[in-house]
């Protein structure tokens, strides 16, 4: 179960930005199956959904299945199999906790690996968001989750659901909600990880909620909410690509 917990936390940590909000969580069933409700199309995105400037920092409040705070910082870049990856380092109770690697381009956001002692690697890198952004467009992935010397066959689907206003300790944000369903085929049976990320343009995910369903174990829900952030200046963005919603 420790390996499953590491996998879950690794896949669901992303940087966040700064403002104030709260969204009613509801039951787990509602969290997974809530339909898209839009009164009007959202405006085009003006800034990146995932700031990557080295030195940018986010502080989360942990809720539901966890307590305390977590600090995440962009600490550098790393070349992995020819891919330039952004390195995110996190701390809990002032101590180094874990590290995550992402590939972020004009066209997509992919996760390469995450974890501390129980590090997991996604082979090939798993896409979370892909351009051009469109509501209910599915980004599918098939590959493996490498952990403790073994490769677990896995699949995932991510979907941009809606525009929602979210309240977290840092403030109130208009966000783009992205739902991800990851399934890993363990020997004991499939382990499922449902994730919802609320992205605020120019800031990152201001709220993340995830549910773990492992064979023979009760489901567990966890949540992170933005408390504060310090985002360094962003580079000039291209005219088209990931940040334009059609």
Radius of gyration of the chain (CA): 17
Q: Of all residues in the chain, what percent carry a pLDDT higher than 70?
A: 76
Judged by DSSP in three states, 30 sits in: helix
CB-based burial label for 131 (10 Å; 0-12, 13-18, 19+): middle
Residue found under tokens 């990146």: 48
The CA distance from 60 to 68, in Å, is 9
Tokens of 55: 């030195």
**pLDDT (mean) for 151-157:** 94
The CA distance from 99 to 82, in Å, is 19
Tokens of 101: 């690697």
**pLDDT (mean) for 22-28:** 33
- Between 2-11, 12-21, 84-93, 235-244, the lowest mean confidence (pLDDT) is in 2-11
Tokens of 138: 């599915």
Entry pTM: 0.74
Structural domain spans, the chain: 2-28+46-230
Measured in Å, how far apart are the chain's first and last C-alpha atoms?
41
pLDDT at residue 243 in the model? 46
CATH class of 2-28+46-230: mainly beta
Q: What is the pLDDT of residues 121-131, one digit of tens each?
A: 999 999 998 87
* Confidence grade of residue 235 (pLDDT, cut at 50, 70, 90): low
Q: What is the pLDDT of residues 181-223, one digit of tens each?
A: 999 998 888 888 899 999 888 888 899 998 988 888 888 898 9
The CA distance from 217 to 53, in Å, is 39
Q: What is the pLDDT of residues 69-103, one digit of tens each?
A: 999 999 999 988 888 899 999 998 888 888 999 99
pLDDT at residue 10 in the model? 35
> What average pLDDT is seen over the chain?
77
């Amino acid at each position: 179960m420790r390996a499953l917990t590491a996998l879950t936390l690794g896949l669901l940590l992303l940087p966040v930005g700064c403002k104030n909000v709260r969204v009613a969580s509801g039951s787990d069933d509602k969290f997974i199956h809530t339909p898209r409700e839009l009164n009007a199309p959202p405006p085009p995105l003006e800034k990146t959904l995932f700031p990557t400037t080295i030195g940018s920092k986010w502080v989360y409040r942990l809720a539901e299945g966890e307590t305390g705070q977590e600090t995440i910082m962009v600490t550098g870049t790393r070349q992995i199999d020819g891919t330039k990856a952004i390195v995110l380092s996190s701390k809990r109770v002032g101590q180094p906790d874990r590290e995550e690697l992402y590939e972020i381009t004009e066209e997509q956001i992919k996760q390469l690996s995450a974890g501390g002692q129980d590090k997991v690697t996604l082979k090939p890198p798993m896409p979370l968001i892909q351009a051009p952004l469109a509501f209910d467009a599915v980004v599918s992935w098939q590959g493996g989750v490498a952990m403790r010397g073994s490769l677990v066959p896995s699949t995932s689907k991510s979907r941009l659901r809606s525009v929602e206003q979210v309240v977290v300790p840092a403030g109130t944000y208009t966000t783009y909600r992205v739902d991800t369903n990851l399934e890993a085929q363990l020997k004991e049976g499939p382990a499922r990880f449902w994730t919802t990320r609320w992205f605020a343009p120019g800031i990152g995910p201001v709220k993340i909620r995830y549910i773990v369903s492992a064979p023979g174990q009760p489901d567990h829900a966890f949540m992170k909410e933005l408390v504060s952030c310090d985002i360094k200046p962003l580079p000039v963005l291209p005219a088209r690509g990931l940040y334009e919603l059609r």
